[in-house]
Structure 1
Amino acid sequence: MTRIGVVGAGRVGAVLAAALRAAGHEIVSAAGESTASKTRIADLLPGVPGGKPTDVARTCDLLLLTVPDDMLENVVTMLVGAGAIRPGQYVCHTSGRHGLAVLEAATAIGAKPLAMHPAMTFTGTVVDLDRLAGTVFGVTAGEADRAELESLVTDLRGVPMWVPEDKRTLYHAGLAHGANHLVTLVAQAMELLAASGAEDPAATLRPLLSAALDNALNSGDAALTGPIVRGDVNTVRAHLVQIGETAPATIPSYVAMAKATADRAVLDGRLLPIRAAKIVRLLDEALARVEEPHLVRGRRTDAGWFEKQ
């Protein structure tokens, strides 16, 4: 059993602390300033006292820092400056972007740095506890501390994936590009379907997206279907016209993803370069139209989607 303190009882911190508590560790205290954080502590960690970050750090053997990436270094520096971190104490953060370097202030006084990032999205509720089972954690630690970190991830029912210090940002970029941008993509797709008359855009997309995601995870680029890989220039042109008239703010993301899709389809030999060039030209023209500041949304004319007002 390890005495654990949590600084930053947000969606991630409160859930991980609850899971570690269920695994037999003692959560001695948790720091969270917002009303939402205090509610999470009460709901997920009943009986665990709240406290200031310095008080939390002083009471534990393993300090779990679950604060935003850009705040992490300042929090560590503040805690070290206040004398709240001690030699031999484990200091573990959950940032995907950062490795051990961000904990240098703590390492310099003899603390043991750990980096442990769950490749999972969190709601900050009990729903997340079951989702931790089988979740991959991107972990980084010194050789002497690897066993401790592996044990911690095992207690969370996760799977450790060792990430080199200099590859942490790349690891996190892959997750963010896949998960965060997926949310934006799906939200835009639902808006287009709603505008087309779909009463339940989510229900329309769910089976298609579920199949596409499974196929992509299993087969990569080989799973690609649709007008880009088929070289259907006229279909892409029609998409751009309708999106430009209905949801012009979606054009930049459509163009970016269509270009990336065309590039990958050409590389694997499924799209002829001459067809790809025609598609890219259409995409560039569409993007130029929505980026011209003197054009405003209006009715379609023979000259294009917009007319000057």
Structure 2
Amino acid sequence: MNRDGRLGVGIIGAGLVGPIVGAALAGAGHALTGITRGSDEDRVDAVLPGVPVLDAIEVVRRSELVVIAVPHDELPGLVAGLADLGAWQVGQIVLHTDPAYGIGVLDPAAAGGAIPLAVHPAIAFTGTSIDLRQLAAAYAAVTAPAAVLPIAQALAVEMGCEPVVVADADRPAYAEAIETVTAFSRSIVQQSTALLAGIGVENPGSYLSALVRSTVDQALAERPPID
């Protein structure tokens, strides 16, 4: 880490999450070293203009903090593959954004001396600058070895989020909660808007917006039952 606490940050994963996390950290003063190629280069360039597009090994080589934001099924193989190539560096921070994995998935990097962190910002990413405003009102689940937990918490804050510590063993339950609320909410809203459209209501999404928001706010304010 630099004397002023600023890091060279590389992003592996140019989908909806990686560029936004990179932009948030850049906004906190960190320097972006590179990002891997994505399927929508125009969108990534709009969020991270001028950031070099590199392969994963070069991103790791140039970076003090590597943010991995790839699909769930790709994460273990990516981390292990880079370890097999001797890419991970002693003292390098490696952070993944997957809700379901804790730090165990980063064991191959940790075996090479890297510092493993798991930080999941709890928003529905769009991959656009709108997400930066959402992060400012969001929480993030952080999981890390006790000695470096403050680093994970500080990075979550620099993304704009309020950090909440989730134990490594609790990450699967956390991921289930996130998947349940996102999938269920999306399904119910889509079903309701289709019904309204079917009876001729114009702009059914706009019609339901205030109702959905107020209902969700009320549900969130209610104390959940404890088994």
TM range (shorter): over 0.9
Larger Rg: 1
1:28 to 33, 38, 41: 33
- CA deviations on 1:107-153 (whole Å, 9 max, x unpaired) are 12221100000000111111111111131110000011112111111
- Of the two structures, which has the highest relative contact order with CA contacts closer than 8 Å and spacing of 6 or more? 2
1:19 to 3, 15, 24: 24
1:11 is paired with a residue of what secondary structure? coil
Amino acid at match of 1:61: E
Match of 2:13 in 1: 8
Measure the CA separation in 2 of the matches of 1:210 and 1:21.
31
Amino acid at match of 1:75: L
2:29 is paired with a residue of what secondary structure? coil
Shift of residue 199 of structure 1?
A: 2.5
Shift of residue 206 of structure 1?
A: 2.1
Matched, 1:87 2:90: yes
- CA deviations on 1:21-71 (whole Å, 9 max, x unpaired) are 11110111110232x1x2233111112100001111111011100001110
Identity, % of aligned positions: 35
Which stretch shifts more, 171-180 or 18-27? Answer: 171-180
Structure 1 segments unaligned to the other structure (5+ residues): 222-263, 265-309
Asked if the contact 1:30–1:41 (Cα under 8 Å) also holds between the matched residues in 2, the reply is no
Asked if the contact 1:14–1:40 (Cα under 8 Å) also holds between the matched residues in 2, the reply is no
Match of 2:103 in 1: 100
Match of 1:217 in 2: 220
Measure the CA separation in 2 of the matches of 1:54 and 1:185.
42
Shift of residue 189 of structure 1?
A: 1.0
User: Under a length normalisation based on structure 2, what TM-score does the superposition of the two structures give?
Assistant: 0.92
- CA deviations on 1:249-270 (whole Å, 9 max, x unpaired) are xxxxxxxxxxxxxxx9xxxxxx
Structure 2 segments unaligned to the other structure (5+ residues): 1-5
Which stretch shifts more, 171-180 or 138-147? Answer: 171-180
Structure number with the higher helix fraction is: 1
2:73 is paired with a residue of what secondary structure? helix
- Count the aligned residue pairs: 220
Match of 2:187 in 1: 184
Shift of residue 220 of structure 1?
A: 5.1
Match of 2:205 in 1: 202
Match of 2:114 in 1: 111
Matched, 1:44 2:51: no
1:125 to 125, 128, 140: 128
User: Under a length normalisation based on structure 1, what TM-score does the superposition of the two structures give?
Assistant: 0.68
Measure the CA separation in 1 of the matches of 2:65 and 2:30.
10
